[in-house]
């Protein structure tokens, strides 16, 4: 038994993630750290410049590590060393991967950019700098700020990793219609740093500077001696005098922003489809209930609504949509309060029911919205994701949008994204955290007030437009269209917006001068072209999810072309970071949103993985445990653990029925890579992967793992036996031999073993001593005493060190004393099975033969003519003093032992 497999922590859920400690380097001086951000017409370009000196008189590796918003594209990276520039070059992903296979195979690309938390990505690289030399790192990223709930947010993270003599953050916002409000928030905007932050405002411009002293850099709430660590969040909105929207033209490109707020609200029909499958158990369910209660309170009185909860079954609050009257709301809240988790996940049936509900209640002058909240894969009813998306698309028929909220990290976000995009909606992640209810409510708030539907924007004299038709416009958001001016000599551009407001058509028409009116700084003169490229690439990336065949390829190609032309690091491109040492080039890839965050990747040893079948048959346990996700895995499988974000609790998938193990110790696994039903994962066992130790309480007791030798087979088998048990270990009725053992819950093996032979011989072995009674005399030995022998009437007892060798008649067993940490336990070994004897008991099984079933990646074995699902596990072979750990196929007890564990139990030793 490996100690790791028997960590016994009943009643508490424990996760400890140990990652490599951050190396502190006093020999590196970041003498200057500047962040400069310019926002013009919501297009933000941010450059981080870090100047670092190697103070050692020998060369050393210097690290550059910064965090940038997920929505942004990196567009430039440069290192300047000894007067020479090394610029990152954006290439097609496949080409970069191929060209730098060496870098890729060293696993360096994996870590260069990774997703951290909800909104940020981390960019990290390093370079070797000569003795007493300097290096300058410069990273630029760009993003179009999106209006949500009436404001734009510019998030800037600062974490230089040490205090910096010359730290500066400069933000300049230029909005030609004027800035209506501006606020500086974030965890760096605290009282301690208040006088380091200065905000200056003019009509169209705002400047925010943040120049903390070295002293201040250690004093903010989230900072320590390693300096600043936090965000500055600048939120603002702009004036909107022109109801037709705002047109900005520069260098042959334009952007048109349209966000009316003086339109009357359209009554809506909204159906909430809530996943209450077992995986929603605990805090997720609570948060969903509490968000739902608040959302219900926020419904407008002209809104109609419906509530559907689903697992493998579907429950409706009411068959039809009802008006949000006080009485109905009270009734719905009572329903919401009673939602409890259970069962599997039938997304298909639930969404189709929601669509049906809406379709059966058409109302003039209203708009309909479907909101699906789920935390897992479809596991019941129709589970083929392609079929589901097809069914849903056909049922909705583009008549109203479907928004999908993916709760937690075990959702298949690609699937939800696709389903939303196909139905004019968007998918949003809800992060499993204490504020999940607020995230849910925040999302609802964004879609709470529809103002216009079927919006079409038309322009004359322009080309290469980004998206121009939109299903819905919500108060607090913004419609943005960008394009190129066909003829630079034209004096004006005509805009026309046609939309439906409460059932009647409205038109907005405007003619604006096409002359360059923007007073942007020269270094940003191309910002509109870049804004156009950014928006075009983003929309193409979304679109290609929906397309097929040549159209998909064309969209991809176009997005790639623009990524290369504008040097954006997008999901289709990679940045090759070159270094003074040729062979040290690295490849930076943008993580996809569907990917789990911040997970170390390393080489995958060729070990068969385990397979997640479904989350059917979910088994809730301690409700105080909070959000834990369970899954149904192959029999005998331990479960899958996913790390939490930023100290959030991780999640664990365990089999149902729970295995007899109480806890496991496993290394992290790579995230599932595709959206097949279920997925295979390889357990990795590289040294540099942090290990997660976790334990979960089970109704079943902890277990001892036995090894079952399988001569001539590739791997031995192993099985678990729950503890505590008094077990029949070995019996030979013909000769009157029996050996029983008893274990206590905190042991890896046995604390007492009793051997009987014929009627008079009796051996009692515990972890301190051995006593032998032959019917008349008593002999006592102590473990560790001088080597001793005893021989008489076919009985040989030999004690050497930690081995006690017992031969009685034709049976020979060796009892070993193992010490692990402070625990001592006994382990019985049968090195040689006696010939021509039928033995019973747990150790009575001679070697067993099995066949690995071909083609199934050997997770199915044929044992005694039965096909058995197995998983790969480790077992410590306590039959030897050295206790080697060996890999084995973990099989259910019944599969190899011709009986249940209780058949091997004895009431008395």
457-496: which residues touch ligand NAG (CB under 6 A)? Answer: 463-464, 475-476, 484, 486
Residue 844 Cβ vs ligand NAG, minimum distance, rounded to whole Å: 13
By CB under 6 A, which span of 280-288, 544-552, 809-817, 846-854 interacts with ligand NAG? 846-854
Distance CA 271, CA 306 (A): 5
676 near ligand NAG, rule: CB under 6 A: no
Residue 540 Cβ vs ligand NAG, minimum distance, rounded to whole Å: 10
Whether the CB-CB separation of 648 and 432 falls below 8 Å is answered with yes
Q: Which of 21, 83, 549, 855 forms a contact with ligand NAG (CB under 6 A)?
A: 855
Dihedrals φ, ψ of 481, to 5°? Answer: -125, 135
By CB under 6 A, which span of 77-85, 195-203, 380-388, 841-849 interacts with ligand NAG? 841-849
**Pseudo-torsion of CA 664, 665, 669, 675, nearest 10°?**
10
| 128 or 486: CB nearest ligand NAG | 486
Distance CA 393, CA 32 (A): 54
Residue 869 Cβ vs ligand NAG, minimum distance, rounded to whole Å: 15
836 near ligand NAG, rule: CB under 6 A: no
Whether the CB-CB separation of 742 and 727 falls below 8 Å is answered with yes
Listed in order, strand segments (DSSP E) in 224-319 are 230-238, 246-250, 253-258, 268-275, 304-310, 314-316
Residues whose CB is less than 8 angstroms from the CB of residue 869 and which lie 6 or more positions away in sequence, other chains included: 634, 635, 636, 859, 860
| 103 or 730: CB nearest ligand NAG | 730
43-72: which residues touch ligand NAG (CB under 6 A)? Answer: 57
Q: Which of 261, 760, 780, 838 forms a contact with ligand NAG (CB under 6 A)?
A: 261
856-895: which residues touch ligand NAG (CB under 6 A)? Answer: 857
Residue 799 Cβ vs ligand NAG, minimum distance, rounded to whole Å: 27
Residue whose token pair is 């600048």: 234
Closest CA to 165 of 96, 233, 216, 98: 216
Residue 248 Cβ vs ligand NAG, minimum distance, rounded to whole Å: 18
Distance CA 394, CA 493 (A): 39
Closest CA to 644 of 14, 223, 5, 20: 14
| 138 or 237: CB nearest ligand NAG | 237
Provide the 8-state DSSP code for 840.
Answer: B
Residues whose CB is less than 8 angstroms from the CB of residue 95 and which lie 6 or more positions away in sequence, other chains included: none
| 75 or 747: CB nearest ligand NAG | 75
Q: Which of 833, 834, 853, 872 forms a contact with ligand NAG (CB under 6 A)?
A: 833
Residue 262 Cβ vs ligand NAG, minimum distance, rounded to whole Å: 7
Burial pattern 326-361, b for ≥16 Cβ within 10 A else e, equals eebbeebbebbeebebebbbbbbbbbbbbbebbeeb
- Token code pair at residue 612: 């997640």
Angle CA 485–490–493, to nearest 5:
60
Residue 237 Cβ vs ligand NAG, minimum distance, rounded to whole Å: 9
Q: Which of 204, 265, 526, 773 forms a contact with ligand NAG (CB under 6 A)?
A: 265
Site string for ligand NAG, 392-431 (x = CB under 6 A): ----------------------------------------
Dihedrals φ, ψ of 268, to 5°? Answer: -120, 155
CB atoms within 10 A of CB 884: 10
Q: Which of 557, 592, 800, 866 forms a contact with ligand NAG (CB under 6 A)?
A: 557
**Interface size with ligand NAG, residues (CB under 6 A):** 23
Residue 150 Cβ vs ligand NAG, minimum distance, rounded to whole Å: 5
Q: Which of 847, 851, 884, 898 forms a contact with ligand NAG (CB under 6 A)?
A: 847
| DSSP string for residues in 367-393 | EEEEEEEESS---SS---HHHHHHHHH
702-741: which residues touch ligand NAG (CB under 6 A)? Answer: 711-712
561 near ligand NAG, rule: CB under 6 A: yes
Q: Which of 434, 456, 769, 849 forms a contact with ligand NAG (CB under 6 A)?
A: 849
Binding site for ligand NAG (CB under 6 A): 57, 150, 261, 264-265, 449, 463-464, 475-476, 484, 486, 557-558, 561, 711-712, 833, 846-847, 849, 855, 857
């Amino acid at each position: 038994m490996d100690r790791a497999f028997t960590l016994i922590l009943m009643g508490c859920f424990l996760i400890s993630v140990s990652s490599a400690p951050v190396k502190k380097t006093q020999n590196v001086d970041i003498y200057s750290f500047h962040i400069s951000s310019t926002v013009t017409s919501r297009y933000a370009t941010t450059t981080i410049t870090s100047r670092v000196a190697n103070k050692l008189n020998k060369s050393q590796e210097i690290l550059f590590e910064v965090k940038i918003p997920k929505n942004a594209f990196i567009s430039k990276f440069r290192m300047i060393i000894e007067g020479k520039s090394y610029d990152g070059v954006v290439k097609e992903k496949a080409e970069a991967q191929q060209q730098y296979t060496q870098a890729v195979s060293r696993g360096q690309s994996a870590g260069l950019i990774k997703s951290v938390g909800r909104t940020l990505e981390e960019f990290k690289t390093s370079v070797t700098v000569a003795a007493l030399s300097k290096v300058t790192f410069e990273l630029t990223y760009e993003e179009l700020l999106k209006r949500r709930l009436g404001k734009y947010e510019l998030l800037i993270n600062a974490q230089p990793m040490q205090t910096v003599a010359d730290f500066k953050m400069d933000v300049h916002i230029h909005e030609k219609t004027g800035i209506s409000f501006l606020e500086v928030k974030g965890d760096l905007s605290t009282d301690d740093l208040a006088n380091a932050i200065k905000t200056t405002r003019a009509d169209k411009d705002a400047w925010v500077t943040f120049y903390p002293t070295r002293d201040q850099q250690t004093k903010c709430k989230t900072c320590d001696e390693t300096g600043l660590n936090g965000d500055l969040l600048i939120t603002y909105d702009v004036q909107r005098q022109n109801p037709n929207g705002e047109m900005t033209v520069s260098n042959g490109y334009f952007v048109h922003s349209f966000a009316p707020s003086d339109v009357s609200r359209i009554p809506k029909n909204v159906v909430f489809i809530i996943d209450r499958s077992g995986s929603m158990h605990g805090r997720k369910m609570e948060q969903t209930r509490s968000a739902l209660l608040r959302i219900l309170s926020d419904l407008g009185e002209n809104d109609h609504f419906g509530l559907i909860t689903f697992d493998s079954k579907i429950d409706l609050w009411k068959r039809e949509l009802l008006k949000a009257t006080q009485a109905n709301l009270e009734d719905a809240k009572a329903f919401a309060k009673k939602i409890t988790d259970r069962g599997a996940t039938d997304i298909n049936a639930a969404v189709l029911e929601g669509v049906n509900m809406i379709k059966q209640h058409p109302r003039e002058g209203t708009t309909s919205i479907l909101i699906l909240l789920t935390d897992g894969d479809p596991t019941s009813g129709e589970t083929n994701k392609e079929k589901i998306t097809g069914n849903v698309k056909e049922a909705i028929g583009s008549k109203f949008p479907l928004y999908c909220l993916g709760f937690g990290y075990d959702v298949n976000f690609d699937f939800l994204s696709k389903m939303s995009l196909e139905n004019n909606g968007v998918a949003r992640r809800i992060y499993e955290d204490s504020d999940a209810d607020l995230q849910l409510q925040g999302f609802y708030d964004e879609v709470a007030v529809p103002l216009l539907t079927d919006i079409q924007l038309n322009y004359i004299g322009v080309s290469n437009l980004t998206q121009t038709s939109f299903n819905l416009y919500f108060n607090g958001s913004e419609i943005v269209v960008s394009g190129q001016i066909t003829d630079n000599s034209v004096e004006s551009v005509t805009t026309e917006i046609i939309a439906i407001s409460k059932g009647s058509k409205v038109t907005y028409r405007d003619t604006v001068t096409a002359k360059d009116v923007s007073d942007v700084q020269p270094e940003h003169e191309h910002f509109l072209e870049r804004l156009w490229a950014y928006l075009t690439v983003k929309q193409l990336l979304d679109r290609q999810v929906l397309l097929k065949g040549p159209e998909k390829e064309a969209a991809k190609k176009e997005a790639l072309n623009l990524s290369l032309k504008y040097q954006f690091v997008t999901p289709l491109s990679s940045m090759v970071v070159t270094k003074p040492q040729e062979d040290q080039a690295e490849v930076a890839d943008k993580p996809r949103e569907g990917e789990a965050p911040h997970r170390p990747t390393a080489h995958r040893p060729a070990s068969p993985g385990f397979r997640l079948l479904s989350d059917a048959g979910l088994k809730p346990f301690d409700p105080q445990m909070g959000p834990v996700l369970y899954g149904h895995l192959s029999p005998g499988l331990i479960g899958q653990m996913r790390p939490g974000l930023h100290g959030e609790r991780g999640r664990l998938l365990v089999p149902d029925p729970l295995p007899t193990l109480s806890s496991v110790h496993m290394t992290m696994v790579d995230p599932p890579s595709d959206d097949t039903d279920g997925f295979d994962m390889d357990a990795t066992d590289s040294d540099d992967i942090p290990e997660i130790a976790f334990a979960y309480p089970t109704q079943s007791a902890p277990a001892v793992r036995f090894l079952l030798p399988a001569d001539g087979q590739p791997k031995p088998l192993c099985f678990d036996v729950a503890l505590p048990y008094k077990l029949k270990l070995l019996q030979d009725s013909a000769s009157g031999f029996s050996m029983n053992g008893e274990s206590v819950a905190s042991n890896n093996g046995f604390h007492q073993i009793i051997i009987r032979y014929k009627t008079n011989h009796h051996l009692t072995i515990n972890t301190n001593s051995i006593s032998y009674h032959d019917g008349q005399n008593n002999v006592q030995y102590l473990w560790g005493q001088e080597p001793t022998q005893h021989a008489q009437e076919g009985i040989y007892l030999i004690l050497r060190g930690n081995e006690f060798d017992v031969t009685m008649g034709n049976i020979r067993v060796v009892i070993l004393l193992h010490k692990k940490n402070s625990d001592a336990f006994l382990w019985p070994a049968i090195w040689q099975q006696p010939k021509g004897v039928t033995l019973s008991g747990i150790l009575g099984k001679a070697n067993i033969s099995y066949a690995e079933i071909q083609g199934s990646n050997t997770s199915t074995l044929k044992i005694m003519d039965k096909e058995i699902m197995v998983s790969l596990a480790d077992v410590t072979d306590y039959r030897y003093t050295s206790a080697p750990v060996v890999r084995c196929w973990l099989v259910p007890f019944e599969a190899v032992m011709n009986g249940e564990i209780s058949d091997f139990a004895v009431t008395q030793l």
